[in-house]
């Protein structure tokens, strides 16, 4: 009964926000969004049998501005960052902590499906640069290299101004293998909640 009451209250509170929505995307519309979620590393430092974790699941966040050149296609910029949790690695028989952070700036794009609908599926993508900083024990290295991301997303209009949605992304960035143990690239998968406004 308690769950039913809570559900009813939530529905009553949010029903006015969904009434009379000016839904969809118009050509020339701009979306300003903030994103937050988590990222899961999918590969490691090194090659062959000598591989080391650079970090565990970490928090990821960002801000994005997308201007819709057409209803189906938008282009803009995004700045984002990820801070991975520390993990234990064994180096020369000694157990030490490994951690990493990355910060990126991208030209970002978005392909919209059913742009006139209140709820829309889309493909986010981007190309830019990432500064990656890794630390194993007391040894720290960093490099700045090209990076890419692509994914899938769904967003919905809350009212005439606000939007919200979710994205899942594959993030890929290149590495200086002379600094990072024969590692040419690293990657993670991120899941993000998006909150935005229409400008």
Yes or no: say if 88 and 95 are a contact pair by the CB < 8 Å rule: yes
> Quick check: is 74 in a domain?
yes
- Return all residues near 156 (Cβ < 8 A) that are at least 6 apart: 118, 119, 120, 163, 164, 165
Yes or no: say if 158 and 164 are a contact pair by the CB < 8 Å rule: yes
Lowest mean pLDDT of 117-121, 169-173, 179-183, name the range: 179-183
Provide the pLDDT confidence category of residue 180 given band limits of 50, 70 and 90. Answer: confident
The domain that contains 126 carries what CATH number?
Answer: 2.40.160.20
What are the tens digits of pLDDT across the range 70-95? 999 999 999 999 999 998 887 777 88
> Quick check: is 16 in a domain?
no
Tell me how far apart the alpha carbons of residues 183 and 51 are, in angstroms, rounded to a whole number: 10
Identify which of 45, 57, 10 has the alpha carbon closest to the alpha carbon of residue 190. 57
Range of the domain at 150: 23-198
Provide the pLDDT confidence category of residue 8 given band limits of 50, 70 and 90. Answer: very low
> Quick check: is 10 in a domain?
no
Lowest mean pLDDT of 26-30, 46-50, 98-102, 181-185, name the range: 46-50
Give me the sign of the Cα torsion angle 67, 170, 88, 175: negative
DSSP code for 8: H
Lowest mean pLDDT of 49-53, 183-187, 195-199, name the range: 49-53
> Quick check: is 18 in a domain?
no
The mean pLDDT of the chain is 88
Does residue 1 have a pLDDT over 60?
no
Ranges of beta strands (E only) in 42-161 are 45-47, 50-52, 56-68, 73-91, 94-113, 119-136, 139-157
Tell me how far apart the alpha carbons of residues 89 and 187 are, in angstroms, rounded to a whole number: 19
Report the domain count for the chain.
1
Yes or no: say if 175 and 47 are a contact pair by the CB < 8 Å rule: no
Identify which of 150, 77, 133 has the alpha carbon closest to the alpha carbon of residue 107. 77
Provide the pLDDT confidence category of residue 124 given band limits of 50, 70 and 90. Answer: very high
> Quick check: is 3 in a domain?
no
What are the tens digits of pLDDT across the range 23-76? 899 999 999 999 999 999 999 887 666 777 888 999 999 999 999 999 999 999
> Quick check: is 67 in a domain?
yes
Does residue 172 have a pLDDT over 80?
yes
> Quick check: is 13 in a domain?
no
Identify which of 105, 182, 101 has the alpha carbon closest to the alpha carbon of residue 142. 101
The percentage of the chain sitting over the pLDDT mark of 90, rounded to a whole number, equals 69
Does residue 14 have a pLDDT over 50?
no
> Quick check: is 11 in a domain?
no
């Amino acid at each position: 009964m308690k769950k039913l009451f809570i559900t009813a209250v939530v529905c009553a509170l949010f029903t006015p926000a969904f009434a009379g929505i000016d839904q969809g995307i118009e050509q020339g519309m701009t979306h300003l969004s903030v994103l937050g979620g988590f990222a899961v590393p999918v590969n490691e430092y090194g090659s062959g049998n000598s591989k080391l974790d650079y970090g565990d699941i970490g928090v990821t966040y960002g801000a994005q501005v997308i201007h819709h050149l057409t209803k189906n296609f938008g282009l803009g910029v995004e700045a984002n960052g990820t801070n991975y949790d520390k993990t234990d690695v064994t180096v020369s028989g000694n157990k030490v902590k490994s951690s990493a952070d990355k910060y990126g700036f991208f030209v970002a794009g978005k392909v919209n499906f059913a742009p006139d609908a209140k709820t829309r599926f889309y493909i986010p993508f981007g190309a830019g640069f990432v500064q990656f900083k890794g630390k194993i024990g007391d040894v720290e290295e960093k490099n700045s290299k090209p990076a890419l991301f692509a994914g899938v997303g769904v967003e919905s209009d809350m009212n005439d101004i606000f939007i919200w949605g979710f994205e899942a992304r594959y993030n890929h960035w290149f590495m200086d293998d002379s600094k990072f143990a024969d590692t040419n690239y690293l990657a993670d998968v991120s899941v993000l909640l998006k909150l935005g406004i229409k400008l």
